[in-house]
């Protein structure tokens, strides 16, 4: 029986914990939760029929076989450092942390740790990853978000962008993946996922504020010698966090199904 620990008991952590709990697998079990807000971990634990232990990140990593990080870039780095020391497998949601620290992926490979990155809020990752073997000429990610999906982003404050005043769609950012992750660490993990899948280092990221929409919309256009790919995903937000898409939670559940292949979540 593999032990799973979840770091971050917010929208994703809670959704995934509840699905694991409901599934009652004989292959894996949720044994530990960590959150810098202990109240979040306690409150989630109360909702679980099979209780987990609440630990700090270090102790959680030591105890479990697979860590699901669903907290923040800082937490992802802490989790990875401990996982490297104890050779534990990882599912990382705060993917931007990997882009900011490219040596980490090399270290993870050297230690032969399994690092899983869910497709998150986008789809079509299989085809985009296939193109990494070909000759990509151009790739653009255009993300449109309602004000709630961008609330709290420091970039908007620094640029004196008043979201309340926007009455029509407006481009608030255009740049590369590294800049996008730096300015929007909580909003644009999909850019990092796209880069890691396609290995294309000239992805253009455009972020639009659209007061007329309620959903987060991601459009990906890739042009390669071998194929042109267009993907558009219209995401409902998770109930707990308007910045996070419900599809992201499902993508982690699906990933667990793939890792533990004879197991079906929700059955
Ligand atoms: N890969 C993707 O496609 C994708 C999509 C959405 C969100 N995300 C990322 O996943 C992460 C979780 O998203 P969410 O919607 O569940 O967020 P959330 O804000 O709802 O919950 C995050 C939880 O993590 C806790 N936390 C934050 N920093 C921590 C730390 N250093 N140590 C311990 N706990 C910490 C918070 O207290 C909170 O309870 C975020 O980094 C988010 O940007 C990734």
157-173 per-position pLDDT tens digit: 888 888 888 789 999 99
- Quick one: pLDDT band at residue 265, thresholds 50, 70, 90? very low
User: What is the residue extent of each domain of the chain?
Assistant: 2-120+247-259, 125-241
pLDDT in tens, 10-61: 999 999 999 999 887 788 999 999 999 999 999 999 999 999 999 999 999 9
Q: Quick one: 2-120+247-259 is in which CATH superfamily?
A: NAD(P)-binding Rossmann-like Domain (3.40.50.720)
Q: Is 197 in the pocket of ligand 1 (CB under 6 A)?
A: no
Contact by Cβ (8 Å): 165, 172? no
Asked if the domains 2-120+247-259 and 125-241 are classified in one and the same CATH topology, the answer is no
pLDDT in tens, 48-83: 999 999 999 999 999 999 999 999 999 999 999 999
- Which atom of ligand 1 lies at the shortest distance from residue 12's CA? 16
Q: pTM, whole model, 2 decimals? A: 0.94
Distance CA 250, CA 247 (A): 5
Contacts of 159 (CB under 8 A, 6+ apart): 172
Q: Copy the structure tokens of residue 87.
A: 């050779």
pLDDT of residue 98: 94
pLDDT surpasses 90 at 7:
yes
What is the whole-number distance in angstroms between the Cα of residue 198 and the centre of ligand 1? 24
Nearest to 19 by CA among 256, 259, 262: 256
Q: Whose CA is nearest to atom 44 of ligand 1?
A: 93
The residue-averaged pLDDT of 235-255 equals 92
DSSP state of 165: G
pLDDT > 90 fraction of the chain, expressed in percent and rounded? 79
Residue reference for tokens 């000239």: 202
- Quick one: pLDDT band at residue 262, thresholds 50, 70, 90? low
Q: Copy the structure tokens of residue 120.
A: 């998150």
pLDDT in tens, 102-139: 899 999 999 999 999 999 999 999 999 999 999 999 99
Q: Copy the structure tokens of residue 41.
A: 């971990």
Q: Is 176 in the pocket of ligand 1 (CB under 6 A)?
A: no
CATH architecture of 125-241: 2-Layer Sandwich (3.30)
Secondary structure E strands in the chain? 2-7, 28-34, 53-54, 66-69, 89-92, 115-116, 136-145, 170-175, 204-209, 216-224, 228-235
Distance CA 67, CA 93 (A): 11
CA 106, 107, 111: angle at the middle one, nearest 5? Answer: 120
Distance CA 164, CA 213 (A): 14
Q: Is 164 helix (H, G, I), strand (E, B) or coil?
A: helix
């Amino acid at each position: 029986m593999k032990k799973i620990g979840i770091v971050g008991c917010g929208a994703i952590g809670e959704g995934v914990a509840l699905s694991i709990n409901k599934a009652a697998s004989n292959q894996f079990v949720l044994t530990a939760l960590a959150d810098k807000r202990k109240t979040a971990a306690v409150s989630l634990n109360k909702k679980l029929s099979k209780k987990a232990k609440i630990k700090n990140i270090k102790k959680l990593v030591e105890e479990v076989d697979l860590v699901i990080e669903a907290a923040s870039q800082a937490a992802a780095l802490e989790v990875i450092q401990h996982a490297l020391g104890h050779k534990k497998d990882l599912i990382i949601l705060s993917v931007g942390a990997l882009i900011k620290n490219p040596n980490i992926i090399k270290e993870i490979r050297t230690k032969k740790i399994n690092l899983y990155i869910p497709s998150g809020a986008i789809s079509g990752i299989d085809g985009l990853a296939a193109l990494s073997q070909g000759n990509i000429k151009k790739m653009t990610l255009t993300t449109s978000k309602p004000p709630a999906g961008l609330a709290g982003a420091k970039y908007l404050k620094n640029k004196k962008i008043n979201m309340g005043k926007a009455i029509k769609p407006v481009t608030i950012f255009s740049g590369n993946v590294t800049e996008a992750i730096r300015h929007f660490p909580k909003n644009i993990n999909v850019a990092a996922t796209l880069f890691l899948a396609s290995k294309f280092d000239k992805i253009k990221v455009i972020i639009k504020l659209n007061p007329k929409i309620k959903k987060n919309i991601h459009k990906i256009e890739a042009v390669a010698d071998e194929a042109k790919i267009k993907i558009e995903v219209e995401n409902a937000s998770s109930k707990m966090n308007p910045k996070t898409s419900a599809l992201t939670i499902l993508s982690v559940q699906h990933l667990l199904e793939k890792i533990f292949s004879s197991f079906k979540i929700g059955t």
